[in-house]
Amino acid sequence: MNRKLRRAETRNTGKHHPSAGRSERAHPSTSIPDALTRRFAEALDCQQSGRLTEAVAFYDQVLLLNPHLAAAHCNRGAALAGLGRSADAEAAYRSAIAINPTLVDAHNNLGVVLCERGRSDDAESAFRRAIEIKPDLPQSHSNLGIALKCRGRLEEAEAAHQKAIAIDPDSPDLYSNLGDVLHCLGRLNDAEQVLRYAISLQPKFADAFARLGNTLREQGRIVEAEAACRDALALDPNHAGAYSNLGNALADQGRLSEAEAAYRRAIALKPSFGEAHSNLGATLKQLGRMEEACRVTEQALRLPPPDALRYLNLSELRQFTAGDPYLADMEEFARDIASLPVKQQIELHFALAKACGDVGRHADSFRHLRIGSALKRQQIPYDEAATVALFERIRTAFTPELIRTFRDAGDPSPVPVFIVGMPRSGTTLIEQIMASHPRVFGAGELPNFCQAVTSIFSAADCPVPFPDALLDGSGEGLRQLGARYLAEIVALAPAAERIVNKMPSNFLFAGLIHLALPNARIIHAVRDPLDTCMSCFSKLFANGQYFTYDLTELGRYYRHYEALMQHWRSVLPPGRILDVRYEDLVVDLAGQARRIIRHCELEWDSRCLDFHDIDRPVRTASATQVRQPIYRSAVGRAQPYARHLEPLLAALTAKDRAEIDRAY
């Protein structure tokens, strides 16, 4: 749910004065025959009671008697819009304007239907004309703000909403619309405050609760987001947007079947709800229902307004071929890409990069990656110096002496398994192989270990953060860490003998994992550096991975990751970390799968070779790939782009730390 457009209410009169653009009560004895008056009144009664099909029929009769009645055309347009007949509604509003060019409601309502059809530029013109006719109409200013938001002009949109509020400072609708724009500007705290103020003005304001849920979700407050969406639905059980937002909150919690049900309910309530179709497609992909996901996403693309995220979702579900109509549609959409919000510009560039790469247009593909990544890099707060400093502090803190000192401090359970490495290095494939074993539960990318570290080593009684807190520790924190993590994961699958966490960034904690959980198994996914980095650079990640949007930063990050993994091999006991090379895995699946299972001290099970058939959710960027049998086409991923990768090569081959430092 992105906006709250407001149509002018239907008119209860038939006679109009062109100078004012308003209508007055008609007098049958003077301007309107009795039959017309009766039908107009009957049309209004039907419209106000929700019997829109009957209302349209009565307005048709009115217009047969008097085709020059602007108010009847305008009201008929509102009824048609309510029936979802947006093209007919547009024609009705234009007929009203042709008869009475100063009919402000017709201009405002025309703008609404144009915005809903994805024609936000034309909608802006309609709203501006309504404002010219009647500058003090707050709904036109607010609707203008919505149209400007759709065009990516967020600061202007905020100003338009503020103008509406200045005219009518007590309207909860206006504050709700402002909160939506503040959300899009990334001012989430401000958005939350404005939405809560809208709710204070109207405590039963379902729309504001639904939007609040969206804002809380963006703040990472997922449980609160779910509660806000459920509050919206308690107030309005037929609120399609609240169901879609609830689905998002449920999907974020990994409750994919519940999310699917929420999206389907949203679509049942509003079949033209393109965003809900798109969200459903993404969830079906995670559930492994790829053909259905593709169909649903294609359906979303047929619904207004145009949305770059839907093309991006489709690009992750299918291979494009020469002459592909969806590629042609994307390139047509991109002709006016500068008018899109920055988020959609980024999404469209990444979608086009994937499609162009599929059809062998690698120069075009890389151009879109370069532009999309540069735009994304401007939007994110990546602090490279702080990241490098953390790597160095970890290497300094975890000495052989520290490992020996605390070697018996942790929880001895053999249940935890960690798959670590760079993103796009094969971690999902390894987990899928393991999860095919009947005694293994694949938990996906769990943040639990990092969260536990932050909680225990940054608590009020431990002001020194990780890793420095370990230097003066007694080992109690390690025992707490191991026990807490173990309790959390065992709750996910109490009967499993091994529980796999494939959060790649846990490579930062390999030494700490060994101390807190000395019998945990660590598997390190390794892939060719160029292929790994190029695969990272080609992905628009849903969250995090901020180091992947600049080739030089990406190359330097890879070098520091590689150095840290070498450090872990030197200080941890031999055999604690198993390196699994992606290139070896795709050549010798059976041999490498046996190594993985043996490392985890489990008996071999041949079902591990049929990993692509396992029915389990996969929520990572590799969700599509691991649903297929093993393939080798990803080896040499970077080769077609080699001539564009000089900055990455330079960063990967820097000879020493001083050279890396000079590059900052």
Model confidence pLDDT, tens digit, residues 109-123: 999 999 888 788 899
Q: What share of the chain is helix, strand, coil (3-state, %, to 5)?
A: 65, 5, 30
Domain-by-domain residue ranges, the chain?
313-379, 399-663
459/475 Cα distance (integer angstroms) = 15
Confidence of residue 340 (pLDDT cuts 50, 70, 90): confident
Share of the chain above pLDDT 70, in %: 89
Model confidence pLDDT, tens digit, residues 463-485: 456 787 765 566 788 999 999 99
Pair 594, 604: CB distance under 8 Å = yes
Using alpha carbons, select from 257, 372, 363 the residue that is nearest to residue 309: 372
Q: Produce one character per residue of 371-410: b if its CB has 16 or more CB atoms within 10 Å, e if not.
A: bbbebbbeeeebebeebbebbeebbebbeeebbeebeebb
Model confidence pLDDT, tens digit, residues 598-623: 999 999 999 999 987 776 565 555 54
Q: How crowded is residue 460: how many other Cβ atoms within 10 Å of its Cβ? A: 5
Instruction: List Cα–Cα distances, 336 to 112, 340, 341, 352, 372, in angstroms.
Output: 21, 7, 11, 14, 15
**pLDDT value of residue 542:** 86
Lowest mean pLDDT, pick from 19-28, 384-393, 540-549, 636-645: 19-28
Using alpha carbons, select from 17, 20, 13, 18 the residue that is nearest to residue 40: 13
Pair 608, 434: CB distance under 8 Å = yes
Half-sphere exposure of 527 (CA within 13 A, CB side): 29
Confidence of residue 202 (pLDDT cuts 50, 70, 90): very high
- Mean pLDDT value of segment 407-414: 92
**pLDDT value of residue 477:** 83
Confidence of residue 416 (pLDDT cuts 50, 70, 90): very high
**pLDDT value of residue 100:** 96
Pair 599, 523: CB distance under 8 Å = yes
**pLDDT value of residue 656:** 45
- Whether the pLDDT of residue 364 is over 70: the answer is yes
- Mean pLDDT value of segment 574-586: 96
> Per DSSP, which regions of 205-315 are E strands?
none
Mean pLDDT rounded to a whole number for the chain:
89
CATH class of 399-663: alpha beta
Greater confidence (624 vs 177) lies with 177
- Whether the pLDDT of residue 146 is over 50: the answer is yes
49/556 Cα distance (integer angstroms) = 65
> Per DSSP, which regions of 15-124 are E strands?
15-17, 22-24
**pLDDT value of residue 657:** 43
H-type alpha helices, 100-221: 104-116, 120-133, 138-150, 154-167, 172-184, 188-201, 206-218
**pLDDT value of residue 7:** 59
**pLDDT value of residue 152:** 78
Copy the structure tokens of residue 44: 């209004």
- Whether the pLDDT of residue 296 is over 60: the answer is yes
**pLDDT value of residue 269:** 96
**pLDDT value of residue 222:** 94
